[in-house]
Amino acid sequence: MRSSSMLDSPFRPEPTFQHGKAPTTPTRSTTAILFCNLGTPDDPTPPAVRRYLAEFLSDHRVIEIPKVIWNLILHGIILRTRPKQSAAKYASIWTKEGSPLRLWTAKQALLLQGWLGERGHRVTVRYAMRYGNPSIPAQLDALKAEGVTRVLIVPAYPQYSATSTASVFDAVYGWAQQIRSIPELRFVNRYHDDPGYIAALAHQVREHWKHHGRPDKLVLSFHGVPERTLHLGDPYHCECHKTARLLAEALDLKPSEFQVTFQSRLGRAKWLEPYTEPTLIALGKAGVKRVDVFCPGFTSDCLETLEEIAMEGRAAFLTAGGKEFHHIACVNDQPTWIAALGAIAQNHLAGWPTQQGPDQVALDAMRARAVALGAKE
């Protein structure tokens, strides 16, 4: 019979625990926030994009097609043709510092920690990508190694969807299945109607209009998902429309002055309508002179906003007869957005000890009890 020390464990080894010693240094906290965005390739090259797309499009939350059939399509067609095309698009928006989405997400995490710190919360804030790097499991491993015992998961997606929000949660649950001592976990599901978030969106639009004037039509473009997900119970479509309605009310817009659309369609299946680009073409042909496009569902500018909207959308509208096109930047590092994100996080941290470090007297008492029970000094 094998001894217990020889048995293989399905769980990863735990960090060494030292009795009576604080698990963190005075500058660190046992509470953390993991701010999770969709992801980005490491480089704007076909090999890097192929790796990224393979991970992204292999997620059953994203593609609800039987795996046997989908694998033939993915590996036989998509991953042979799309990486080169997508790499060129990524290259058109890449910066000297790297991916815009990664840069904005990292900055938001840093500003969020600062906002919470100014209000007395000692919380470690990190960012992670659902697909690509830094991955959610890698960041959770790092936090656990640093002694973190509580983690709040905050997706960068205001509107809940099984294709995005739930996929982030899947990654966390998958990591937890391999961990013996799991940290306390909390999840933010949605904030599509949060007053602070709506105020940040409205501020972003007003600031643009202050410098550039108002358009004939404001198009609010959200990322698309297959229409069948709506009929299967996904709340995403309804939450997008609620965000748009609240934003329009904050901007005092009449129904005729704005329109909700959905972008980034993949494949031939019917997705949520109306589609963004055909709508822009129709507006141009109808004689609408100026269109502004804003993407409330994206909290960071990325490929979908900087290339698909600001470049492709602009070309489609102007070619169709439109005269002036404006892409309104995402909230990115706007102070009102960081304040909204901070308030959302603060509400979900309620009850966790984030404002004071461990009491040394209590630690000494714990150490004495441990030694009395046989622990080494």
Name the DSSP letter for residue 76.
I
SS3 content of the chain, % helix, strand, coil (to 5): 45, 15, 40
Residue 5 has pLDDT above 90, yes or no: no
Residue 233 has pLDDT above 60, yes or no: yes
CA distance 267 to 224: 12
Residue 25 binned pLDDT confidence (cut-offs 50, 70, 90): very low
Q: What is the pLDDT of residue 8?
A: 80
Question: Which are the contacts of 210, defined by CB distance < 8 A and separation ≥ 6?
Answer: none
pLDDT in tens, 131-155: 999 999 999 999 999 999 999 999 9
Question: Which are the contacts of 8, defined by CB distance < 8 A and separation ≥ 6?
Answer: none
Residue 267 has pLDDT above 80, yes or no: yes
Least confident of 15-19, 78-82, 107-111, 241-245: 15-19
Residue 320 has pLDDT above 90, yes or no: yes
Q: What is the pLDDT of residue 26?
A: 46
pLDDT in tens, 80-95: 999 999 999 999 999 9
Residue 9 has pLDDT above 50, yes or no: yes
pLDDT in tens, 160-194: 999 999 999 999 999 999 999 999 999 999 999 99
Give how far Cα 58 sits from Cα of 85, 133, 225, Å: 19, 16, 16
Q: What is the pLDDT of residue 24?
A: 47
- Average pLDDT of the chain is 92
pLDDT in tens, 33-48: 999 999 999 999 999 9
Residue 367 has pLDDT above 70, yes or no: no
Closest CA to 127 of 148, 154, 100, 166: 154
* In the chain, % of residues over pLDDT 90: 85
State the angle between helix axes of 46-56 and 79-93 in degrees (0 to 180), rounded to the nearest 10: 110
